[in-house]
Amino acid sequence: MPGLKRSELAGLAGISVEYLIRIEQGRDHNPSVSVVNALADALRLDAAERDHLRNVASCSAGPCTAAVQSPRLEVRPTVRALLAQLEPGIAYVTNRLGDLPAYTDGFDLLARPAGVLDGLFPNLTRFVFADERARRVFPDWERLADELTLPLSFGAPSERSQRLVADLTATAGDDFTRRLRGHSRPRGDRQVWCHPAVGTLRFDRETLELPAADAQQLVVLLPADAETNAALNRLRHGGGLALVR
C-alpha cells in the first residue's frame, strides 16, 4: 500500500511492529487466521486478494494443500434466492475465473444484447479478451482487462484455470500475458457499459464475498446517475424480463 508505514499497518491490524517484521522476514511461518484476516482488513484487500493471502499463509506453514477453493460453477439455492430478491436490479455471481453461473434478469437485459452471455457457460474474462465486441461494450477496457487478469494468478491452480490461461494466451497474446505477468492492481468501483440499444450506462459496483467454501462473489451494479437510471427503465419497459438463470 503506497504511503502506508509499517507502524501504521501494525496498528490497524492490532499487532506489534516487531511481530509484523517477523512475518515480513519469514521468521514466523504460521500466523493465526485472526492475524491474517486483520492484515487483510488493514490493507483493504478485495475477495480475490484475501483468498491469495490465505493461500500463501497456509503454504508458508508447510506443504500447500490448496487452501483456496477451486472456482465453482454450482450456485447454492439460497444465493439464487438472494438474486431473485434483487430483481429487477442488475446482479450476478462470479468467481476468480470470471464465470457467470447465475444472474438476474436485469443483468440479462444488460449483458445478453452485448454478447457477454453467449455460449453455454458464459465467462466475462473470456469475453473481454477473446471477443472483438468487448472493446465497444466496455469503454474502459484497459482497466477492466487489468482487473480480470489479476485473480487468475491467485490461489491454487486448477485444471479449469490452467485451461483458461492457455486459451487466452493463444487468443489474446500479449494483451493477456503482459497483464498476467505484471500483477497490476487496479482500483475503482465505477463500471461503464455501452449497450447496443440504450447507449452508455454508468454504474457504481458493489462486490460481496460469499462464504469461503463457495469461492464466489456476488456483484451488484447500481445506476450511477439519473441518465443511466432512465435508460435502464426504457430497457426494462421495452425488453421484458425473464427468470433468474
Q: pLDDT by residue (tens digit) across 127-180?
A: 999 999 999 999 999 999 999 998 887 666 788 888 999 999 999 999 999 998
Strand partners, 36: none
Residues sharing a CB contact under 8 Å with residue 81, sequence separation 6 or more, in sequence order: none
Question: Average pLDDT over the chain, rounded to whole?
Answer: 86
Per-residue model confidence (pLDDT) at position 241: 40
Q: What percent of the chain has pLDDT over 90?
A: 56
Q: Which three cell numbers stand for residue 99?
A: 464465470
Per-residue model confidence (pLDDT) at position 188: 65
Which of helix, strand or coil describes residue 22? helix
**Least confident range of 63-72, 115-124, 200-209:** 63-72
DSSP secondary structure code for residue 63 in this structure:
S
Q: Average pLDDT of 50-68?
A: 62
Residues 66 and 52: beta-carbon distance below 8 Å? no
CB atoms within 10 A of CB 46: 17
Per-residue model confidence (pLDDT) at position 65: 45
Q: Average pLDDT of 1-25?
A: 88
Distance CA 216, CA 205 (A): 16
Per-residue model confidence (pLDDT) at position 240: 41
Q: Domains of the chain by range and CATH?
A: 6-60 (1.10.260), 77-239 (3.30.450.180)
CB atoms within 10 A of CB 203: 21
Q: DSSP per residue over 64-130, as a string?
A: ----SPPP-----HHHHHHHHHTTTSEEEEE-TT-B--EE-HHHHHHHTTTTTT-SSS-BHHHHHHH
Q: pLDDT by residue (tens digit) across 177-225?
A: 999 887 666 566 889 999 999 999 999 999 998 987 888 999 999 999 9
